[in-house]
Each structure stands twice: as structure tokens, then as C-alpha cells.
């Protein structure tokens, strides 16, 4: 196992507005409740759940962007929830590809510079080969070599998302967290990006946590699917096991799919 979450809870303060007073804390609301999960090496684990169920909060907890209220997160048998691992070391091992790719690509940087940045930061000794690495990254996400000299604004949404994936791959992480990464893409682009992701996952033995509210697109792509509901993981299953589903929310999700198809 590469990543283990043990009873992870993240609660946010709830503040009440009072006229003429400072906002007062009126308790806490747990966005993530007692979540235990294991991600195996080379596995793609889907994380589905409705909006507000806590999926992104969980991803932020894994990346150390949130302090846990309680619980533990272990990366390859080392605790990472303590905040002792430096960000650069954590991000070397875990990368995030978020939903809105355009906002995370600097508009004044060419794709070449965007890809060179992580190579320079993480592998300064590869300076001489850096351009070749950029080209092979572009190839692995199905982009033409001439994209190198382009700016993000000259690319389509699907192409920008591929650049974000290439940038994450440049770091050579062991785990990639995808947070609704294909949600903004049309169906054809979505399926070609998923094909690319599957290919590089197999080639590089990567572990994926694939967050989505779209169970339909996730099913064939994931080895297992965890279902999050109101901050809790209520079920983990393999596609094809639907007859064994126990939680009402998961069964309702599958019923919606049956009606749609
Ligand atoms: N910084 C914050 N302060 C207070 N509450 C927050 C904060 N971040 C998230 N929340 C709350 O935590 C809950 C879970 O939010 P989260 O964004 O993790 O859900 P999600 O499943 O990723 O939703 P979506 O699919 O819409 O992105 C929500 O009720 C949200 O309002």
C-alpha cells in the first residue's frame, strides 16, 4: 500500500453573524468524518459523491493544504499529516490535477516554460535533456510537438488539461490526485484524456485517486470506487459488484445510471 488514511476528520468552524458584533464561532462542521482509505501501488481508486460531500477537502488534507482535526495520513509507511515533510518533498511524490486547468497555467508562459519549470525544480541535473523530456511528456499525453511554443490561451480546454497532466507527470510522482479533472471536457475529449491517463498509469505504475461526481465516467477507469456521502466513506466496491451494494445512497446512484442508459 502506498497511501493510507486513518480515521481522518476535518472540521471547519461555523460562524454566526451578529449585528454590531464580530462573527462568533457557533461550533464546528465536519466536512470529512473519520475517513479510512487505502490506496495500493498502481491502483486507480475512484472517489465519487455528490457536491459538498467532502471529496476536495479530503484531497487537500492529503496534500497537507489542510490541518487535520484528527486522524493520520501515511505515505509509504511515513506520516505526512504531521507537516514535517517539506512541501517540495511531498509534491515530488503526490501531484494534484485540478478541475480548472486554465486558471493554473500561467497565461504569459509558453507550454515549454510551463513544463520546464518542474523539471528545473525537481531534476536540476537534467538541464541538458530538459527539452527532450518536454517533448516526450507532450507525446505521452497525445499533444503535438508544436504545442511547445504556444501559450495556454492558444489551446483548447482538453489540450490545456493534457498540459496539466504532462506537468504533473514531469515531477515523476508516485501518486496523482485528480479532482474533477475531466469534468469540464466534452465526452469525446474526456474519453481520450482518460485513455491517456490509463496508458501512463500502466507505463509508470502510478497510483491515482480519481475524484468525480460522475460515476458513469469513473466506473470503467477505476479498479475500486469509494463512495463519499456527507463527509463519510459509506462504501467501497469494484465495478460489477453492484448487487452487493449496501448503502442507500450508492444504490440510488446506480439506479440513476440505469434510468439514464
Ligand atoms: N475552507 C472552508 N471553510 C468552511 N467550510 C468549508 C471549507 N472548505 C469546504 N467547506 C465545506 O466542506 C464541505 C465539503 O466541501 P468539499 O468542497 O470538500 O466537497 P466536494 O465533495 O469536493 O464538493 P464538489 O463536488 O462540489 O467540489 C462543504 O459543506 C463545504 O461548504
Residues with CB under 6 A from ligand 1: 12, 31, 49, 51-57, 213
Contact (CB, 8 A) for 97 and 164? yes
pLDDT digit string, tens, across residues 39-76: 999 999 999 998 999 999 999 999 999 999 999 999 99
Domains and CATH numbers, the chain: 3-18+25-62+73-260 (3.40.50.300)
Contact (CB, 8 A) for 244 and 235? no
Give alpha helix (H) positions in the chain.
Answer: 55-62, 87-93, 101-104, 111-122, 130-140, 157-170, 187-204, 215-218, 248-260
Three-class SS state of 153: helix
With the most atoms of ligand 1 within 8 angstroms of its CB, the residue from 25, 28, 55 to mutate is: 55
How many A from CA of 56 to the centre of ligand 1? 7
Give alpha helix (H) positions in 205-240.
Answer: 215-218
Kindly tell me the sign of the dihedral angle through the C-alpha atoms of 104, 201, 130, 162. Answer: negative
How many A from CA of 53 to the centre of ligand 1? 7
pLDDT-based confidence at residue 101 (cuts at 50, 70, 90): low
As a whole number of Å, the end-to-end CA separation of the chain is 36
For the CA of 13, the closest atom of ligand 1 is 4
How many A from CA of 126 to the centre of ligand 1? 39
Prediction ipTM score: 0.96
pLDDT digit string, tens, across residues 193-223: 888 889 889 988 999 999 998 888 778 889 9
Amino acid at each position: 500500500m502506498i497511501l493510507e488514511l486513518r480515521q481522518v476528520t476535518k472540521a471547519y468552524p461555523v460562524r454566526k453573524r451578529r449585528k454590531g458584533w464580530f462573527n462568533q464561532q457557533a461550533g464546528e462542521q465536519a466536512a470529512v468524518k473519520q475517513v479510512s482509505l487505502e490506496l495500493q501501488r498502481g491502483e486507480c481508486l475512484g472517489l465519487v459523491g455528490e457536491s459538498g460531500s467532502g471529496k476536495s477537502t479530503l484531497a487537500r488534507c492529503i496534500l497537507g493544504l489542510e490541518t487535520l482535526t484528527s486522524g493520520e495520513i501515511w505515505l509509504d509507511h511515513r506520516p505526512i499529516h504531521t507537516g514535517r515533510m517539506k512541501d517540495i518533498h511531498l509534491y515530488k511524490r503526490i501531484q494534484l490535477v485540478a478541475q480548472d486547468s486554465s486558471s493554473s497555467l500561467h497565461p504569459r508562459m509558453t507550454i515549454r516554460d510551463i513544463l520546464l519549470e518542474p523539471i528545473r525544480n525537481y531534476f536540476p541535473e537534467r538541464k541538458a535533456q530538459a527539452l527532450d523530456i518536454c517533448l516526450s511528456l507532450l507525446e505521452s499525453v497525445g499533444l503535438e510537438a508544436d504545442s511547445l511554443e504556444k501559450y495556454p490561451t492558444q489551446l483548447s480546454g482538453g489540450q490545456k488539461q493534457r498540459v496539466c497532466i504532462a506537468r504533473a507527470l514531469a515531477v515523476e510522482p508516485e501518486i496523482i490526485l485528480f479532482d474533477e479533472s475531466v469534468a469540464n471536457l466534452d465526452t469525446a475529449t474526456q474519453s481520450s484524456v482518460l485513455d491517456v491517463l490509463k496508458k501512463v498509469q500502466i507505463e509508470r505504475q502510478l497510483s491515482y485517486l480519481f475524484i468525480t461526481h460522475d460515476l458513469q465516467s469513473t466506473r470503467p477507469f477505476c479498479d475500486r470506487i469509494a463512495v463519499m456521502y456527507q463527509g463519510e466513506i459509506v462504501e467501497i466496491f469494484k465495478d460489477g459488484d453492484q448487487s452487493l451494494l449496501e448503502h442507500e445512497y450508492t444504490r440510488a446512484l446506480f439506479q440513476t445510471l440505469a434510468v439514464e442508459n
